[in-house]
Structure formats: C-alpha cells, structure tokens
Amino acid sequence: MAAGLGVTIGSADSVAATAFDRADTYRPVVLSRASELHLPPDDAPHLGRRPAAPGALVFTDFVSRVGDPVGVLADNGASYSGADLTATAIGCLVHEASLDLPEAPTITVAYPATWAGYTVDALREALAQAGLADVTLMPEPIAAVRWLESTQGSLGDGVVLVYDLGARTLDVSVVRTGAEPVLLGRPIASEDVCGGHLDHLVTTHLLDTVRDDVADLDPFAAPMTAALAELRTRSRAAKEQLSTDTETVVAIDLPGVRRDVRLVRDEFEELARGPLQESMALVHEALRGAGVEPSDVGRVLLTGGGGAIPLVAELLSAELGVAVAAGPHPAHTAALGAAQPRAGAAVAAPADDDVPTTVLPVTTDRRTEAISPVRPAVVPTATPAAAAPAPSRSRRYVLAGAAAAALVVLGAGGLAVGTLGTSDASEAGAGVSTSATVPGATPAS
C-alpha cells in the first residue's frame, strides 16, 4: 500500500495530508497544526501551539521569510534563515504524519505560486539539508487543481481560477487543465484582503459594543493587551463558525468588562462585503495577466481558510457566472491534492478531514529516522554595512511590542484597535522568543 504525503506551510496554520493508492479502502488523513515552531534547548523541534518550554525559541510567520537574505533573530541573539525554519517545520509535520505508516511515503510540498524561483530554490536547499532531499515541490494552485480532478474526474482542457484566501494574503491564480495542469500568467497576491483583515473587522465591531465601558482603560497595560489578544482569537473563531452557522456568541472579557455579544452572519457579511467585493478587481487582473477572458473560465476553486466563507462563493459566482467549487475544509485542499501518490491514487474528500478515519498498524522496521525533524542551523550575521536588501514584501501592519497581539490607541472618537499583523501564538513568557529582523544576516545556503 503506497502512501503520498502532501504538506502546506501557511502563515497561520500548516497541514499534512496522507492519501493512499487504495482510496476505496483507506480514507485520507489530515493533520493540521498552528504555524508556531518551537525549538526547545534539549528536545526535538515541535510545530504547533503549546506552552513554551523554559529557554525555548518560538517562531511564527517564518514562511514569509523564505529566500530572504535577512535572517530571523531570536531573543538569545541567534539568527536563523526563514528557509531553514520552514524546512524544520515541514520536517516536524512529516515526522508526525508518518508515525503510523507502514512504509515511508512519497512527499510533496505545495508552496505559494507567487514565490520567485530563488525562493523555491532556497526552500529546496534547506529541505535537502534537513534530510528531505527527495521531496517534490509544487505550486499550491496546481496541487489544488489535482484535488479537484481527483474528486470530480478529469476536467479536460479548460481554465480554473483558484482563489486562495489565506490568513495573511489573497492569492489569485489561473490554471490551464488538461493532461498536466499548468499556471497561466503571473499569480496575483494582495495583503489588502485576507483572513486577518476580516478578523480585524470583527474585532473592531465587537469592541464598538463596549466602547463606553473601556474608554478609561489603559490600552498599553499588560492585562489589556492580553485580553485583546484573546478577543482577536475569539473573533477569528467567530468568523470561522459563521461559515457554517448563521449566528454565534462571542465573549468579550476585558479588564472590568465582561459581556456576551451575539453576532449573526448578516452582520459579518456586511463587514466583509466591501473588501471581498474589491478583491474582484484582483480576479480580473489575474485573468488579464494570463491572457484569459472571463468567459473562458470553466469554474472557480476556493482554497485557504477564507474559502469556507459563503459570501466569497456568492460574489465570485455573480462576478464570473460560473460554478464555484470548494472542499469541506478549503484550508486543506492544496495539501490533499499534493498528497496523491505518484501512482495516481484518487483522493476523495473525507467526511470530516480534521479527524483521521483510518488507523494503520505500526511496524518496527520503518525508517523513522529518515523523516525526523532536524534543528535549523544558526546562521552567522554580518555587519549592518554589509546587509543586503530584503526582497520580501513590506508589511502593511506593524506590531508594537513582542508580546502584543493587538495595538490599541485612544483617540478622539474613543477606542480604536489594530490587530492585523498579529499571530495567535503563545503569550510571551519566560524563555519565549518571537521572530524579528536582524540586518545583515547571510542567506541560507
């Protein structure tokens, strides 16, 4: 029984999906972890959200730094390349997802289609150094279309527009289907519309309901900062819940203020409609860049966590007049497509792809050491004068403070909150390090 393992490393969540060449017998198994990489001083690397061990280094948002010659600085002064951190995260997922497999799987990693060639090469080299030289790399939209073909049959010669609404960016790609799907033109990426932006809109909406009660609170006090971080996490959960439910209740728990606020889908859609409608311009930009007329698009495929939002499908269907497809969990689609064994197994979407539905026997002779995660190497730092300019996109939103998950200011209009650039990582504590830029780090080799 051959197994294929597909991996995606996102800015918020990372996914490993396992599929089998006997798809009629074994259902795909999906493993999802927060993109939070822990490097304990005396233990193996770990990917996922958990309390940090004493002295552990904790990194988030490292995927955006792949290919960046500027290193990622930890609190202990050590610098790591974004590519090495990402390769270690992939190794963690591969190791965990492979533990119960009777033989080593074929591994395919899906990466953002907007990456330049040197970025892909940087990841490939880092994976080789991490003991994953045999990994295949594939653009995420291609992997997503492979999932679509495996679930709906051959698509023939046609055009699929892939709308990937992730936590930090929206990526729009155009794929020509056929014997081998290929990307057409240059994929379009935008940080103006993303899951984090929608989380921000929900957070500010909820804070408006208690504006008068928090006007006298110190926005920079540690309890307030921690409470706002938790509120942003709950806002994200509420957004996700409204993809399937028509209403939800969010607990607002700020210093001296405790209130349950009911949020209905219509309210959320009113908040999200403007940004999502503006994203239709990106759709047409991607089509023009691919040399494709809107009438030539056969269907739209939604991926990324935001692909589960019903309003997204509604707007795209109205804009292009075509069918819109999405898996039960769009955030898992690219990994499920990348997981297809090279033998050509069909990957059916599981009824609940968050929970493994097949338990395989554990064998004692499998090569677990070959896929154990490897700790990334510390890279030397050069002087600031020798620093190379970072090619990564500039961040639109800036964090104030390593532990801050929200930036709050009191203005003439009352309480305003900005949470866009933040992560749902562990709260700062003893021995916890967050990533920062160190000028002049050498590129990964």
Domains of the chain (ranges; CATH) run 195-271+394-418 (3.90.640.10)
- Taking residues 321-338, report their average pLDDT: 97
**For residue 397, pLDDT beyond 70:** no
Q: Looking at residue 20, what is its pLDDT?
A: 85
Q: ∠ CA(65), CA(173), CA(94), 5° rounding?
A: 50
pLDDT of residue 24: 58
Report the greatest alpha carbon distance in the chain: 68
Q: 284: pLDDT confidence band, cut at 50, 70 and 90?
A: very high
The model carries a pTM of 0.81
- The percent of residues above 90 in pLDDT, for the chain, comes to 67
Q: Under the phi-then-psi rule, with left for phi > 0, alpha for psi from -120 to 50, and beta for the rest, what region is 403?
A: alpha
Question: Strand runs (DSSP E) across 298-385, as ranges?
Answer: 299-303, 323-326
What is the rounded (10 degree) CA torsion for 381, 382, 383, 384? -80
How many angstroms separate the CA atoms of 361 and 101, rounded?
7
CA distance 376 to 125: 12
Label residue 345 by pLDDT band (50, 70, 90).
very low
